[in-house]
Structure 1
Amino acid sequence: MGRTAAALGAAVLAAVTLGTAPGQAAARTPAEGARVRWQPQDSGTDARFRGLAAVDRHTAWLAGSAGTVLRTTDGGERWRPVSPPGAQDLEFRDIEAFDARRAVVLAIGEGEASRILRTDDGGATWTESFRNTDPKAFYDCVTFFDPRHGLALSDPVDGKYRIASTRDGGRSWRVLPDTGMPPAQTGEAGFAASGQCLVASGPRDAWLATGGGAASRVLHSADRGLTWTAARTPVPAGDPARGVFGLAFRDRTHGIAVGGDYNAGEPSPRAAAVTADAGRTWTPSAQPPAAYRSGVAWLPRSRSAALAVGPTGTDLTTDGGRTWRTVDDGSYDTVDCARDGACWAAGERGRVARLGSGSRAPHTAGS
Structure 2
Amino acid sequence: MTAGLVGAALALALAAPARAGETPAAPAPAAGWQLTPTGTDVRVRGLAAVDRRTAWAAGSRGTVLRTTDAGRTWRDVSPPGAEDLELRDVEAFDARRAVVLAIGEGEASRLLRTEDGGATWTETFRNTDPRAFYDCVTFLDHRHGLALSDPVDGRFRILATRDAGRSWEVLPDSGMPAALPGEAGFAASGQCLVAAGPREVRFATGGGATARVFRSADRGRTWTVADTPVPAGDPARGVFALAFRDRDHGLAVGGDYRTGRPSPSAAAVTADGGRTWTPAGTPPPAYRSGVAWLPHTRAAALAVGPTGTDLTLDGGRTWRTIDTGSYDSVDCAPDGGCWASGEKGRIARLARP
Post-superposition, which runs of at least 4 consecutive aligned residues in structure 1 deviate over 6 A?
none
Query: Which runs of 5 or more residues in structure 1 are unaligned?
Result: 1-7, 16-32, 359-367
Residue equivalent to 1:68: 63
Q: Deviations over 1:6-63 (max 9, x none)?
A: xx99944267xxxxxxxxxxxxxxxxx9831100001100010100000011110000
Quick check: 1:104 aligned with 2:104? no
Quick check: 1:124 aligned with 2:119? yes
1:47 counterpart letter in structure 2: V
2:127 counterpart letter in structure 1: N
Residue equivalent to 2:74: 79
Q: Is the 8 A contact 2:212 2:225 kept in 1?
A: yes
Q: Is the 8 A contact 2:14 2:336 kept in 1?
A: no
Q: Is the 8 A contact 1:101 1:119 kept in 2?
A: yes
Call closer, same or farther: CA 1:299–1:100 in 2, change over 3 Å: same
Q: Is the 8 A contact 1:234 1:282 kept in 2?
A: yes
Quick check: 1:228 aligned with 2:223? yes
Q: Secondary structure at the match of 2:61?
A: helix
For 1:190-339, list aligned pairs within 5 A: 190-339=185-334
Quick check: 1:163 aligned with 2:146? no
Query: Which runs of 5 or more residues in structure 2 are unaligned?
Result: 1-7, 16-27
Q: Secondary structure at the match of 1:155?
A: strand
Q: Secondary structure at the match of 2:221?
A: coil
Distance in 2 separating the partners of 1:276 and 1:128: 38
2:187 counterpart letter in structure 1: A
Residue equivalent to 2:21: none
Q: Deviations over 1:58-104 (max 9, x none)?
A: 11000000000000011111000000000000000000000000000
Q: Secondary structure at the match of 2:177?
A: coil
Residue equivalent to 1:142: 137
Distance in 2 separating the partners of 1:297 and 1:110: 28
Q: Is the 8 A contact 1:106 1:114 kept in 2?
A: yes
Distance in 1 separating the partners of 2:54 and 2:308: 24
Quick check: 1:42 aligned with 2:42? no
How far the C-alpha of 1:357 sits from its partner, in A, is 5.3
Distance in 2 separating the partners of 1:12 and 1:265: 33
Q: Deviations over 1:85-128 (max 9, x none)?
A: 00000000000000000000000000000000000000000000
CA RMSD, Structure 1 to Structure 2 (Å): 1.7
Q: Secondary structure at the match of 1:66?
A: coil
Q: Secondary structure at the match of 1:13?
A: helix
How far the C-alpha of 1:309 sits from its partner, in A, is 0.1
Residue equivalent to 2:20: none
TM-score normalised by structure 1 residue count? 0.89
1:65 counterpart letter in structure 2: S
TM-score normalised by structure 2 residue count? 0.93
Distance in 1 separating the partners of 2:265 and 2:52: 33
Call closer, same or farther: CA 1:120–1:10 in 2, change over 3 Å: farther
Residue equivalent to 1:29: none
How far the C-alpha of 1:283 sits from its partner, in A, is 0.1
How far the C-alpha of 1:188 sits from its partner, in A, is 0.3
Q: Deviations over 1:215-251 (max 9, x none)?
A: 0000000000000000000000000000000000000
